[in-house]
Amino acid sequence: MVAASVQFGQHAPAQRTILHLSDTHLLADNAPLVGTYDTAANLDATLRRVERLGTQPDALVFTGDLTDLGEPEAYRALRDAVEPVAEALDAPIIWVAGNHDERGPMRQHLLDREPTEEPVVSVHDVGGLRIVALDSSVPGWHHGELDAAQLAWLAEVLAEPAPLGTLLAMHHPPLPCHLPVFDILELRDQPALGEVIADTDVRGILAGHLHYSTSGTFAGVPVSVAAATCYTMDISRPAVEVNGMDAGQSFHLTHVYADTITHSVVPVVEAPSGDFFSQEWVDHMASLTPEARLEAFSRKR
């Protein structure tokens, strides 16, 4: 969109735009998740919303639980759904492993790598923005960990700053959780990660796992958790009664600026919108002086 490049306020347009999606939980033959949720249909609705964004993303980041059981067919179905959309957007895909994923099948059927049990980690240069995919999954378990070897590898990666800084992408967020049971499945030994990223160029952490959107800070670094595409948690209920619902699916638009990063929730809904703003309206505002724009749009009538 032309409008995205027009600067009316104090901030220049974002340097990079990242689509942050999470927790697709696909199953082979599109079996209903826990007998209830159509994960393929919900992913399709999400991707159709992505196609209607009108924004050119620089990368798509999926923060884990890509499949529910780590089935080869489910990984292939995920590729078939997402890769054409990413290709049309001319944006790379960054896949992150979650606790429901299995490293061997994920490596082989999603990443075209050898099907080993090594952590699924990667480093991506997105026009000067470094995105590091970490693997907080623990084979055979649902809680999260980053072992000493992976933390040492991360320290080596971060030893040299990137031009636009670094985002970490991982499944288990280093944040408190509103759901008591999820505390059992949290990222363990979080201080060890905090020591590694201290005094580095890490500007943000993207995560999933919780199935609802939330944010906070960890070791002075902002953390943004994207809700799931499969189903979300209804946290309007008392904490001990929070359960999943087939509603509220969303993803995040992460905008990277020179001096800040924003994370905006994009709902996956079909709903009419107003038609006040348009490209013509923006073009008209762009033709005015700053004083005339303030008079036309800011003054109360």
Give the model's pLDDT for residue 270: 84
* 3-class DSSP state of 269: coil
pTM: 0.95
* 3-class DSSP state of 225: strand
Using the structure block, give the residue that is written with the tokens 């923006």. Answer: 282
Token digits of residue 242: 């929070």
Quote the CA–CA distance of 205 and 131 in Å, as a whole number: 10
Residue 215's DSSP bridge partners are: 224
Token digits of residue 260: 């800040």
Nearest Cα to 33, choosing from 211, 208, 231, 227?
Answer: 231
Asked if 32 and 40 touch (Cβ cutoff 8 Å), the reply is no
Using the structure block, give the residue that is written with the tokens 């826990």. Answer: 34
Starting from the edge strand earliest in sequence, which strands make up the sheet with 59-63, in order? 93-96, 59-63, 16-21, 250-256, 261-267
Query: Mind spelling out the 3-state secondary structure of 171-199?
Result: CCCCCCCCCHHHHHHCECCHHHHHHHHCC
Q: Which residues contact 64 (CB under 8 A, 6 or more apart)?
A: 22, 23, 96, 97, 98, 99, 100, 101, 136, 137, 170, 171, 208, 209
Nearest Cα to 94, choosing from 59, 52, 66?
Answer: 59
The answer for 209, left when phi > 0, alpha when psi is -120 to 50, beta otherwise, is: left
Using the structure block, give the residue that is written with the tokens 């595409």. Answer: 229
Give the model's pLDDT for residue 3: 43
Which long-range contacts link 149-153 to residues 24+ away (Cβ below 8 Å)?
A: 150/119, 150/121, 151/192, 151/193, 151/196, 153/121
Per-position pLDDT tens, the chain of length 301: 334 567 898 999 999 999 999 999 999 999 999 999 999 999 999 999 999 998 899 999 999 999 999 999 999 999 999 999 999 999 999 999 999 999 999 999 999 999 999 999 999 999 999 999 999 999 999 999 999 999 999 999 999 999 999 999 999 999 999 888 889 999 999 999 999 999 999 999 999 999 999 999 999 999 999 999 999 999 999 999 999 999 999 999 999 999 999 999 999 998 888 888 889 999 999 999 999 999 999 999 8
Quote the CA–CA distance of 261 and 250 in Å, as a whole number: 19
Q: First-to-last CA distance in the chain?
A: 30
Give the model's pLDDT for residue 2: 38
Q: What share of the chain is helix, strand, coil (3-state, %, to 5)?
A: 30, 25, 45
Quote the CA–CA distance of 47 and 42 in Å, as a whole number: 9
